[in-house]
């Protein structure tokens, strides 16, 4: 999920000592230059455009309101030294200019942070889509090669991995993943090590447990270069490794290491090693996400994990940077026509949907990222026209209800309200 950093400081993120030193040097330099050019009026009190105006504008727009106020304070002390009569109008004009520039800086930074977070969110979604595409492609290839013998797809096994994590069965999730690799890629001896409390611990193994040697040249190279490394990358005359390949997952520091000791060379290729990395990344990311939404998943077990994840992400965006998202809930009687496919066909790329069965109704929860209430109403009007064309006005009126929700409440309270059947 996206990491959020609220920005409420009146300073840009910069060392305070460096900032104060820069302001002091620039302000003193300005006063000195003004004195050399015009000893009687170094701050150009009687002019419309002043050196101080330029300095305050630059500092405030770049560093924020705090820097501008400090520069104004230092300038005021110097003005008191150079002038017998304090120029009140001059001071007030520059103070007002500083406040205006500070306000502009605040809103501009706020706008940039929102844009950056939206961009990060879209990049995460693109990464997810790319990862899912790779998994889908490999799953299809596996089914194509061995459908009669092993009629099971990688995606279905990864679903079991996710379910194990959701049940807080971390060891089981790693065991399922290793079984997947052993069955589909003939990995006869290998292991996954997870870093906990600063030390690597065995998470799962295929065949006999493979001990981790952090001084092994292949392990060192994989960690240092933060990429998959295999035996042919070493100079075997100088270096010898216990492993055929090492697949690391680095998130600032090593988080997971997959060691491959025995595996047919036909299966030991770049495509498969890259797939192993994707699977490791999938497992680690899902584990982190599911840990964050565990209370919601436990309470609302019939709501999909993907929907809970997106709901939590956009609620955090709303709380931190006031980035608006909206939800629409459709309540459809089960006796009416099947409308799920029609609803899905009307969604945008980023929209997230979840179907929940409750008593005699089907509840469709739809999250509209970065969309306000007007956008949600426009979405409903388009979908309403499509559904009426499909089932008729009378059937629609008698069997379909809807509600709009601002994403302002805690996800727990919001879901409890959305899943209420009093509609």
Domain around 80: 16-113
Q: In terms of domains, do 173 and 220 share one? A: yes
Structural tokens at position 419: 């899943």
138 assigned to some structural domain: no
Q: In this predicted structure, what is the pLDDT of residue 6?
A: 44
Q: In terms of domains, do 22 and 90 share one? A: yes
- Collapsed DSSP state (helix, strand, coil) of residue 400: strand
Residue ranges in 167-269 assigned as alpha helix (H): 170-185, 217-225
Contact present, 411 and 296 (Cβ < 8 Å): yes
Q: In terms of domains, do 162 and 287 share one? A: yes
Beta-carbon contacts of 268 under 8 Å, excluding residues fewer than 6 positions away, are: 230, 244, 245, 260
The CATH number of whichever domain residue 282 belongs to comes to 3.30.450.40
Q: In terms of domains, do 413 and 305 share one? A: yes
Q: How many folded domains does the chain comprise?
A: 3
Round to whole Å and give the CA distance between 195 and 44: 63
Residue ranges in 199-269 assigned as alpha helix (H): 217-225
Q: In terms of domains, do 101 and 162 share one? A: no
Q: In terms of domains, do 371 and 396 share one? A: yes
404 assigned to some structural domain: yes
Round to whole Å and give the CA distance between 322 and 319: 6
Query: Which residue, of 292, 321, 338, is where some domain finishes?
Result: 292
Q: In terms of domains, do 158 and 168 share one? A: yes
Report helix, strand and coil shares of the chain as percent, to nearest 5.
Answer: 55, 15, 30
- Collapsed DSSP state (helix, strand, coil) of residue 225: helix
304 assigned to some structural domain: yes
Q: In terms of domains, do 108 and 226 share one? A: no
Q: How far is CA 402 from CA 76, 246, 325, in A?
A: 61, 52, 17
Task: Give which of 108, 111, 120, 35 is closest to 78, Cα–Cα.
Answer: 35
134 assigned to some structural domain: no
Q: In this predicted structure, what is the pLDDT of residue 246?
A: 92
118 assigned to some structural domain: no
160 assigned to some structural domain: yes
Round to whole Å and give the CA distance between 170 and 162: 10
Structural tokens at position 365: 């929860």
Q: In this predicted structure, what is the pLDDT of residue 153?
A: 55
Q: In terms of domains, do 182 and 257 share one? A: yes
What stretches in the chain show pLDDT beneath 50? 1-10, 146-152, 423
372 assigned to some structural domain: yes
Whose tokens are 């680095």? That residue is: 250
CA 266, 202, 216, 286 torsion-angle sign: positive
Residue ranges in 86-225 assigned as alpha helix (H): 88-146, 154-166, 170-185, 217-225
Round to whole Å and give the CA distance between 162 and 294: 12
288 assigned to some structural domain: yes
Query: Which residue, of 64, 83, 113, is where some domain finishes?
Result: 113
Query: Which residue, of 247, 277, 292, is where some domain finishes?
Result: 292
Q: In terms of domains, do 315 and 198 share one? A: no
Q: In terms of domains, do 277 and 161 share one? A: yes
Q: In terms of domains, do 188 and 288 share one? A: yes
Q: In this predicted structure, what is the pLDDT of residue 2?
A: 47
């Amino acid at each position: 999920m996206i990491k959020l950093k609220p920005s409420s400081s009146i300073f840009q993120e910069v060392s305070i000592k460096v900032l104060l030193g820069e302001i002091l040097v620039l302000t003193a330099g300005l006063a000195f230059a003004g004195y050399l050019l015009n000893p009687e009026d170094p701050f150009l009190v009687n002019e419309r455009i002043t050196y101080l105006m330029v300095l305050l504008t630059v500092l405030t727009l770049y560093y924020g309101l705090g820097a501008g106020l400090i520069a104004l304070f230092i300038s005021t002390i110097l003005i008191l030294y150079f002038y017998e009569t304090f120029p009140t109008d001059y001071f007030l004009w520059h103070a007002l200019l500083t406040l205006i520039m500070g306000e502009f800086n605040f809103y501009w930074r706020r706008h940039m942070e929102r844009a950056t977070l939206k961009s990060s969110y879209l990049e995460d979604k693109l990464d997810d889509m790319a990862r899912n595409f790779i998994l889908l492609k490999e799953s299809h290839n596996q089914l194509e090669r061995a459908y009669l013998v092993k009629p099971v797809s990688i995606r279905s096994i990864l679903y079991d991995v996710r379910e194990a994590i959701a049940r807080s069965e971390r060891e089981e999730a790693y065991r399922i993943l290793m079984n997947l690799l052993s069955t589909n890629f003939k990995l006869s001896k290998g292991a996954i090590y997870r870093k906990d409390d600063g030390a690597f611990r065995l998470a799962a193994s295929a065949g006999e447990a493979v001990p981790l040697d952090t001084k092994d040249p292949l392990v060192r190279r994989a960690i240092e270069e933060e990429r998959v490394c295999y035996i042919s990358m070493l100079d075997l005359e100088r270096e010898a490794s216990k492993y055929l390949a090492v697949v690391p997952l680095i998130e600032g520091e090593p988080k997971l290491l997959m060691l491959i000791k025995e595996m047919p060379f036909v299966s030991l290729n770049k495509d498969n090693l890259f797939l192993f990395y994707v699977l490791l990344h999938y497992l680690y990311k899902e584990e982190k996400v599911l840990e964050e939404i565990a209370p919601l998943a436990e309470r609302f077990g019939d709501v999909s994990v993907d929907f809970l994840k997106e709901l939590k992400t956009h609620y955090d965006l709303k709380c931190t940077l006031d980035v608006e998202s909206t939800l629409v809930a459709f309540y459809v009687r089960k006796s009416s026509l099947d409308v799920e496919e029609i609803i899905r066909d009307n969604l945008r790329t980023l929209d997230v949907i979840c179907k929940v069965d409750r008593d005699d109704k089907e509840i469709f929860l739809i999250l509209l990222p970065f969309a306000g209430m007007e956008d949600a109403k426009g979405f409903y009007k388009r979908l309403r026209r499509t559904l009426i064309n499909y089932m008729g006005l009378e059937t629609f009126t008698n069997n379909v209800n809807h509600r709009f929700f601002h994403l302002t409440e805690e996800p727990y309270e919001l879901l409890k309200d959305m899943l209420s059947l009093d509609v």
